[in-house]
Structure 1
Amino acid sequence: MKKITYIFSGFSVEEHFGKEVSRVFQKDLKDCKNIIFIPGGMGKNSKTDKYVNTDVEWFREIGIDIENVDIFDVNMNEETLEEKINNADIIFLMGGDTIRQFEFISKLNISEKIKEFQGAVIGVSAGAINLGKISICSKDIDDGVENTKIYYGIGRIDYTFEPHFEINNGELLKSELFPASNKFKIYGITNNTALKVSNEKEIDIIKGDLYIINNSEVNIIK
């Protein structure tokens, strides 16, 4: 399998992966058996287990027969981590606390392994943010993010993503995203957007809208 990355804001409880994403997954991931989940925080808990079980069931619904499931934990040793990554077909970076997830990945010392992984990597919300070369975790008081944070991410893809993007959220654009966009381009993905990135730079829009925020302007990518 070639190096592929999938980017999402999230999935629909009603539609599961949805028709468009399911078709792509069935083509690209049909032979995948081993998956690693990286939680949106510092490790496993009952909430993580619930989401993992749901995602694995959705893969099986569309004919991707996942056999081995691992959830990375902060207590795993380096040898175990390396062995599991080497045997994996898919690495799935879950949604959750963006900064804590990145700290978790850094503590496990697996950023470079995710970056160079020759297989499929799925990034959802927090995971999508952390896969970028430059990552931005924008201010969201309701989600506990009091100030926008900009940092060097994993660098698997050569883009900076803003999940859950709303074109009508003028306050976020004006106060947070426009100033940052004068330094680097930001790609806004709506809650319905699904992207496939091949070889770090080639973006295919599976579904939904993709916006580019650059030099204090926002435009939709056709």
Structure 2
Amino acid sequence: MKVFLTSSIGGSYKENGKRIPCALDDSNNFLELLKKYWPKNPKCLILSSDPENQEVNDSFKFIFDEAFKISNLPLSKIDICDSRNENKLADTIYDYNLIFLAGGHVPTQNEFFNRIHLKELLKSYDGIVIGISAGTMNCADMVYAQPELDGEAIDPNYKRYLNGLDLTTISVFPHFQDAKDLTVDGLRVVEDISLEDSKIRPFYALVDGSYIFVDDNKSTLYGEAYYFNNGAFTKVCDKDKSIQL
């Protein structure tokens, strides 16, 4: 299995409130590496982050079908797995050689993945997995589900650590370029939430365009990223550079 853990891979932009397909982000030679492992006439399955939101799921499917074509990564088939067909996943997942884990709300997606027994199904999967944002976060053995919605940061029952898909031991905090200016429930996302949580378990913060490639238990980080551990963070890689983790 080849696993791409990304913060964002581009593929669309907004114009007059409408999302328009475009080429994938090729920062840090992402497309070059992806094309190296791209199957012939791949069949792609998108795993939703919100199985009940069929309108958004269908839009996501359309956007990325077009984005892959624009990026010269054609697909022979693209489907989405959500509440409409989740009961068929165990019988169909191995028909696909490319699995796409969508972005969204981490706990919602995590609950869906548990419901469809995705962790167990992926143990016998031998294709490419691409995670985006929440999809990347849920790939870890132990997921850092950072609070992002109003009420989550101050809710004593909100679980910040969840069992994930166990495709990597690396926990990821995406969209770091935006998080530095965000607050949740009056708390600063980086200073008051992330740094405190890193005292419990370390994680890597990725800016959009950076990614981690996992192949045969070897993990390589590409692009700008930061390591959070024990209440502090340090820059560990720059754009257009790479390091072994």
Identify whether the pair has TM-score above 0.5, normalized to the shorter chain. yes
User: Could you say which TM-score interval applies, normalised by the shorter chain?
Assistant: 0.7 to 0.9
**Are positions 1:212 and 2:227 aligned together?**
yes
Distance 1:145 1:9, change over 3 A: farther
> What SS class does the counterpart of residue 95 from structure 1 fall into?
coil
* TM-score normalised over the length of structure 1: 0.86
Native 8 Å contact 1:32 1:90 kept in 2: no
Q: How far did 1:132 drift?
A: 0.7
Q: Determine the C-alpha separation between the residues in 1 that align with 2:104 and 2:123.
A: 20
Does 6-15 or 158-167 show the bigger shift?
6-15
Q: How far did 1:217 drift?
A: 1.6
Counterpart for residue 119 of structure 1:
127
Distance 1:47 1:74, change over 3 A: closer
Q: How far did 1:35 drift?
A: 0.8
CA offset digits 1:26-56 (Å, max 9, x no partner):
2211425111101111245122111211112
For 2:94, which of 86, 89, 94 is the aligned residue?
A: 86
Distance 1:178 1:116, change over 3 A: farther
> What does 1:28-177 correspond to in 2, within 5 Å?
28-43=37-52, 45-76=54-85, 78=87, 80-141=88-149, 145-146=152-153, 147=155, 149-166=160-177, 168-169=180-181, 171-177=188-194
CA offset digits 1:149-169 (Å, max 9, x no partner):
211211111100001114745
Q: Determine the C-alpha separation between the residues in 2 that align with 1:174 and 1:40.
A: 27
Q: How far did 1:122 drift?
A: 0.7
**Are positions 1:18 and 2:35 aligned together?**
no
Q: Determine the C-alpha separation between the residues in 2 that align with 1:101 and 1:68.
A: 23
CA offset digits 1:160-191 (Å, max 9, x no partner):
00011147459323322223222322110112
Native 8 Å contact 1:41 1:96 kept in 2: yes
Native 8 Å contact 1:91 1:122 kept in 2: yes
Calculate the aligned-residue CA RMSD, in Å: 2.3
Native 8 Å contact 1:32 1:89 kept in 2: no
Aligned residues: 216
Q: How far did 1:195 drift?
A: 2.7
Q: Which runs of 5+ in 1 are unaligned?
A: none
> What SS class does the counterpart of residue 176 from structure 2 fall into?
coil
Counterpart for residue 191 of structure 1:
208
Q: Which runs of 4+ in 1 moved over 3 A?
A: 75-78, 144-148, 166-170
> What SS class does the counterpart of residue 40 from structure 1 fall into?
coil
> What SS class does the counterpart of residue 84 from structure 1 fall into?
helix
Distance 1:105 1:111, change over 3 A: same
Higher helix share: 1
